[in-house]
């Protein structure tokens, strides 16, 4: 049973605390925030007994086993390294950092201080992604040729908002492209029986706005097993939120790859403990005249609960196969190259 501390009290922290209601692998013992009203709401809604107005106070609490870092991207590296030095296990929001160099420093700190570290790609912890990998490895659609992944939406331009602020890690690539990059690398690896593959070729383009962040960005990738992928991220355009895998014998489509089975994601108050979590669906369409098959993936907890349980279940190994250290470093290296080719500097 892990005693969790939550660093920051924004929207994603609320989601995580809500999801922790549906597990017996840990409890939220403390929250730290520089915004008193947000911290009070989190503590009141979820019965969190300890509140700290500084992150250092949270790290000084000897009863805390693991820290969930829910701050903005530019603060991830600093506080993850401090968590490691304080002997705390770490779950840090995605993207893990602003660039590959920061991520490497975080991994080094976790290794040197013998603590768990995982980038919080919650979709990687869900049974849906495990079923997708199984379908690919079982050869359900034959040899994999092409993978497509999109994640985007129309966010009104506001140069004062974080999403359009370059210094705060704004733009589509870091916020949304990290998902698309991670899933195509996962699928390319699954086709070879590996956890992931790193692309051998990256060709990217995009639109950079007046504040220096990418509004729309796309990249074409090639892997050593000749799988080709295209990924799109956008904060200025409804490009969709899906994944499709094209093989020699059919197509697998994942309509809701990023946020399956997560009533906690949109909840404004604590969910009832008898909440029923919706299953997710994967569609297999064979080539030719065959009828599509809808594969239902049953679940028994929230998406973010699966994430917390993944941490608890792999704490002794110090990393989890859902998002290993090497996987994270590969993803950040790809994001760096994507940003560079588009013309964004973080």
Rounded Cα gap, residues 153 and 156, in angstroms: 10
Where does the pLDDT of residue 283 fall: very low under 50, low under 70, confident under 90, or very high at 90 and above? very high
Rounded Cα gap, residues 28 and 300, in angstroms: 20
Rounded Cα gap, residues 206 and 233, in angstroms: 9
Is residue 220 located within the same domain as residue 309?
A: yes
Is residue 187 located within the same domain as residue 221?
A: yes
**What pLDDT shows up at residue 289?**
81
* Predicted confidence (pLDDT) at residue 233 exceeds the cutoff of 90: yes
- The residue among 149, 205, 207 whose CA lies nearest residue 181 is 149
Q: The CATH number of the domain where 304 resides is what?
A: 3.30.360.10
Of 76, 95, 121, which residue is a domain's last?
121
How many domains does one find in the chain? 2
CB 263 within 8 A of CB 269: no
State the residue for tokens 């492209």: 177
* Predicted confidence (pLDDT) at residue 129 exceeds the cutoff of 90: yes
Mean pLDDT of the chain: 97
Where does the pLDDT of residue 13 fall: very low under 50, low under 70, confident under 90, or very high at 90 and above? very high
The tokens for 166 are 């370059």
Of 99, 121, 143, which residue is a domain's last?
121
**What pLDDT shows up at residue 323?**
98
Mean pLDDT of 184-193: 98
Where does the pLDDT of residue 42 fall: very low under 50, low under 70, confident under 90, or very high at 90 and above? very high
Is residue 153 located within the same domain as residue 250?
A: yes
- The residue among 15, 16, 42 whose CA lies nearest residue 30 is 42
The tokens for 44 are 């009141």
**Residue 281 β-bridge partners:** 296
Rounded Cα gap, residues 148 and 217, in angstroms: 14
Is residue 276 located within the same domain as residue 212?
A: yes
Buried b (16+ CB within 10 A) or exposed e, 111-141: eebebbbbbbbbbbbbbbbebbbebbeeebb
Is residue 116 located within the same domain as residue 196?
A: no
Collect all residues with Cβ–Cβ distance below 8 Å to 309 and sequence separation of at least 6. Answer: 23, 25, 125, 301
**What pLDDT shows up at residue 256?**
97
Structural domain including 59 reads: 2-121
**What pLDDT shows up at residue 213?**
97
Is pTM beyond 0.95? Reply is yes
The tokens for 293 are 């098959």
Is residue 266 located within the same domain as residue 164?
A: yes
CB-count exposure of residue 49 (10 Å: 0-12, 13-18, 19+): exposed
Is residue 141 located within the same domain as residue 255?
A: yes
Q: How far apart are the first and last CA of the chain?
A: 38
**What pLDDT shows up at residue 49?**
98
CB 122 within 8 A of CB 265: no
Q: Parallel, antiparallel, or unpaired for β 201-208 and 66-69?
A: unpaired
The tokens for 97 are 């950092």
Where does the pLDDT of residue 180 fall: very low under 50, low under 70, confident under 90, or very high at 90 and above? very high
142 C-beta neighbours (distance < 10 Å), count: 13
Rounded Cα gap, residues 38 and 35, in angstroms: 6
Is residue 266 located within the same domain as residue 255?
A: yes
CB 176 within 8 A of CB 152: yes
Is residue 81 located within the same domain as residue 153?
A: no
* Predicted confidence (pLDDT) at residue 288 exceeds the cutoff of 90: no
- In percent, the amount of the chain with pLDDT more than 90 equals 97
Is residue 143 located within the same domain as residue 111?
A: no
- In percent, the amount of the chain with pLDDT more than 70 equals 100
For 300-323, write each residue's pLDDT tens digit: 999 999 999 999 999 999 999 999
Q: The CATH number of the domain where 44 resides is what?
A: 3.40.50.720
Mean pLDDT of 5-21: 98
The tokens for 163 are 């999403």
Mean pLDDT of 256-275: 96
Of 121, 136, 170, which residue is a domain's last?
121
Is residue 328 located within the same domain as residue 264?
A: yes
Is residue 54 located within the same domain as residue 80?
A: yes
**What pLDDT shows up at residue 346?**
81
């Amino acid at each position: 049973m892990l005693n969790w501390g939550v660093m920051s009290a924004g929207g994603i922290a609320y989601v995580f605390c809500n999801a922790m209601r549906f597990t017996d692998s840990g409890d939220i013992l403390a929250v730290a925030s520089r915004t008193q009203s947000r911290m009070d709401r989190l503590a009141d809604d979820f019965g969190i007994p300890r509140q700290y107005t500084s992150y250092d106070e949270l790290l000084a609490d000897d009863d805390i086993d693991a820290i969930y870092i829910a701050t903005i991207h530019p603060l991830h590296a600093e506080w993850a390294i401090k968590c490691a030095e304080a002997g705390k296990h770490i779950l840090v929001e995605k993207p893990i950092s602003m660039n590959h160099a920061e991520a490497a420093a975080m991994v080094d700190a976790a290794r040197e201080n013998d603590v768990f570290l995982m980038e919080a790609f919650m979709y990687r912890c869900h049974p849906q992604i495990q079923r997708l990998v199984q379908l690919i490895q079982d050869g359900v659609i034959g040899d994999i040729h092409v993978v497509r992944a999109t994640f985007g939406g129309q966010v009104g331009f506001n140069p004062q908002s974080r999403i359009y602020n370059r210094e705060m890690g704004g733009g589509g690539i870091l916020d949304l492209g990290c998902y698309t990059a991670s899933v195509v690398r996962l699928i390319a690896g699954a086709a070879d029986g590996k956890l992931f593959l790193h692309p051998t070729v990256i060709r990217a383009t995009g639109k950079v706005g007046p504040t220096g962040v990418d509004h729309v960005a796309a990249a074409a990738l090639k892997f050593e097993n000749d799988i080709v992928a295209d990924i799109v991220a956008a904060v200025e355009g409804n490009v969709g939120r899906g994944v499709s895998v094209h093989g020699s014998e059919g197509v697998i489509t994942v309509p809701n790859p990023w946020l399956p089975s997560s009533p906690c994601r949109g909840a404004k108050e604590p969910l009832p403990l008898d909440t029923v979590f919706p299953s997710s669906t994967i569609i297999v369409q064979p080539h030719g005249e065959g009828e599509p098959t809808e594969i239902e993936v049953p679940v028994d907890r929230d998406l973010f609960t699966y994430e917390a349980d993944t941490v608890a279940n792999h704490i002794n190994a110090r990393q989890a196969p859902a998002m290993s250290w090497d996987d994270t470093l590969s993803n950040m290296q790809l994001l760096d190259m994507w940003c560079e080719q588009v013309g964004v500097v973080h």
